[in-house]
Amino acid sequence: MATTEIPTVILPRAPQGEFRNEPFVDFSRHENAHAMREALTRVGDMLGHEYDLVIGGERLRTEGKILSKNPARPAQVVGIHQKAGAEHAEKAMQAALRAFETWKYAPVDERASLLLNAAAIIRDRKFEFCAWLTYEVGKNWAEADADVGETIDFLEFYAREALRLSQATTPIQYPGEHNELLYIPLGAGAVIPPWNFPFAIMAGMTSAAIVTGNTVILKPSSDSPTIAARFFDVLEEAGLPPGVVNFCPGSGATFGNAIVEHPKTRFIAFTGSKEVGLDIHERAAKTQPEQIWIKRTILEMGGKDSIIVSADADMDQAVAGVVASAFGFSGQKCSACSRAIVEEPVYDVFVERVREAVAGLKVGDPVENPNMGPVVSEGALKTIKEYIEVGRKEGRLIAGGNAIAMPEKGYYLEPTVFADIAPDARLAQEEIFGPVLAIVKTSDFDSALEVANNTEFGLTGAVYTQDRGKLDKARREFHVGNLYFNRKCTGAMVGAHPFGGFNMSGTDSKAGGPDYLYLFTQAKSVAEKL
């Protein structure tokens, strides 16, 4: 199975019409709720399966294992995975390099066809993949559906973008010459996705790399390797040649660092914390013996995202948007609203309205589709609880603040809100990645903008106001990569909201946008004299 021949079973599949975002599932409809429950039962019967490393089409097992556990029921093993070590890095790289020699010449319509075939498979099995997300990372039905829908969107969008990029031309044709501008692949690279969008971000980075002709060593998060294994199965079903993607769960400190530092690694696409992203960037920047290129890093890192609530805001919309942004998926999103910055005239009313709204949120096993499920791990629970203790000293607790004991011993926390937080407090500056909201009072809109810009991050933000002048000022001065007016700051849609942030939020990669595939290519200018 080590051959790198391009299978003849790949049939060119043309995109059907213009790109359209995958519609959300309406779970209030009986037939959809029934289908989801059936999928949860089917997937529940598949939990605990052991998955192999797959390198160059060869399936391998290791002595060390990674156990993926259901955060709602930690005794329940979702999947057993092999643990790639530093000793597997060379094997994976050689497999990716061998596959690159043929894959880089595969016609773009064949590469795009692979993505479209994968999108069709996932669409047909949407509820099944939603169920895997519910079990492995604790997403409720709507959050799981959004993750699966975004996965389909990335596959469909990047297939079309690859076809568009293949038709690129130079701005002018110089007299007496034929001029071409070709976007060619970089080589073999690493894809290191996060656990919080373990399907969409993992599939998006992987598909962008391979549709442009690169090959990939995929190292999924140890908190969510089963979703990645299931996606790898889909790629194989869709016609993936051996070695184009190599599935390698493993430790970041051993296998991950070995791949990042390998002299033949051409690029690293990473989504995760600021600390890990900066470490990858530093390791990639150090030139290794026999390295002949500058490694490219595509980094999506943290956020400390703010929603400004102006005195003239529609209070119903503002409260709903802040609560949805802060507590969707238990606040475990880099785009989550971590700070509500509220003008003084409406501050007291807003605080009380948020307290009332949060009191209505239901926390429980995501299989039962509550508003909030568990946080992802025991380590995450411990860290968030430590921040809650910091918040008790820095502000006024108005909601939550406690862990929730469940019979299954899952990692549950109450949605927690602190008011009267100073703009420079730890709770207002550090990324928590959990269901904790800090509310900051400001005197006016100008000071609110100053607070919104006072962190090292610059990912998402939102403004609630009916004043066109304030919106125009925010458009100019609110320094984030994704800015939203009179709507929540989470829920970026592929194509409509290219996603990526400024400052320590990363390299502003703009996933799901028209520029993203350029990051996985290099431009070659060809001129022929006539």
Cα separations in angstroms, 199 against 142, 204, 317, 325:
14, 8, 30, 20
Q: What is the pLDDT of residue 14?
A: 72
Q: What is the pLDDT of residue 3?
A: 40
What's CA 121's distance to the chain center, in Å?
Answer: 21
Burial class (CB in 10 A: 0-12, 13-18, 19+), 319: buried
Q: What is the pLDDT of residue 15?
A: 82
Do the beta carbons of residue 516 and residue 158 sit within 8 Å? Answer: yes
DSSP string, 335-377: TSEEEEEEEGGGHHHHHHHHHHHHHT--BS-GGG--SB---S-
At residue 316, what is the residue type?
A: D
Q: Distance between CA atoms of 464 and 487, rounded to whole angstroms?
A: 7
* CB neighbourhood size of 29 (10 A): 10
Going residue by residue through the chain, which has 530 residues, state the pLDDT in tens, using 9 for 90 and above. Answer: 334 444 434 455 778 889 999 999 999 999 999 999 999 999 999 999 999 999 999 999 999 999 999 999 999 999 999 999 999 999 999 999 999 999 999 999 999 999 999 999 999 999 999 999 999 999 999 999 999 999 999 999 999 999 999 999 999 999 999 999 999 999 999 999 999 999 999 999 999 999 999 999 999 999 999 999 999 999 999 999 999 999 999 999 999 999 999 999 999 999 999 999 999 999 999 999 999 999 999 999 999 999 999 999 999 999 999 999 999 999 999 999 999 999 999 999 999 999 999 999 999 999 999 999 999 999 999 999 999 999 999 999 999 999 999 999 999 999 999 999 999 999 999 999 999 999 999 999 999 999 999 999 999 999 999 999 999 999 999 999 999 999 999 999 999 999 999 999 999 999 999 999 999 999 999 999 99
- Sheet containing strand 305-309, strands side by side: 396-399, 416-419, 436-442, 337-343, 305-309, 460-464, 482-485
Tokens of 146: 């959004």
Where b means 16+ CB within 10 Å and e means fewer, 380-391 reads bbeebbebbebb
Q: What is the pLDDT of residue 202?
A: 98
Domains in the chain, CATH or no CATH each? 30-301+509-529 (3.40.605.10), 305-493 (3.40.309.10)
DSSP class of residue 175?
T
Query: Both ends of the chain: CA-CA distance in Å?
Result: 46
C-alpha Rg value of the chain to the nearest Å:
23
CA atoms within 13 A on the CB side of 380: 23
Phi, psi of 101 (to 5 degrees): -60, -25
Q: What is the pLDDT of residue 8?
A: 38
* CB neighbourhood size of 59 (10 A): 12
Q: Which residues pair with 442 in a beta bridge?
A: 343
Q: Distance between CA atoms of 337 and 326, rounded to whole angstroms?
A: 5
CA atoms within 13 A on the CB side of 408: 17
Q: What is the pLDDT of residue 155?
A: 98
Tokens of 456: 């090292």
Q: SS3 for 234?
A: helix
| Active site residues per annotation | 300, 334
Do the beta carbons of residue 133 and residue 199 sit within 8 Å? Answer: yes
Phi, psi of 125 (to 5 degrees): -120, 35
Q: What is the pLDDT of residue 12?
A: 59
Beta strands in 3-122 (DSSP E): 49-51, 53-55, 58-60, 65-70, 73-82
Q: Distance between CA atoms of 121 and 236, rounded to whole angstroms?
A: 11
Q: Distance between CA atoms of 338 and 480, rounded to whole angstroms?
A: 14
Burial class (CB in 10 A: 0-12, 13-18, 19+), 522: middle
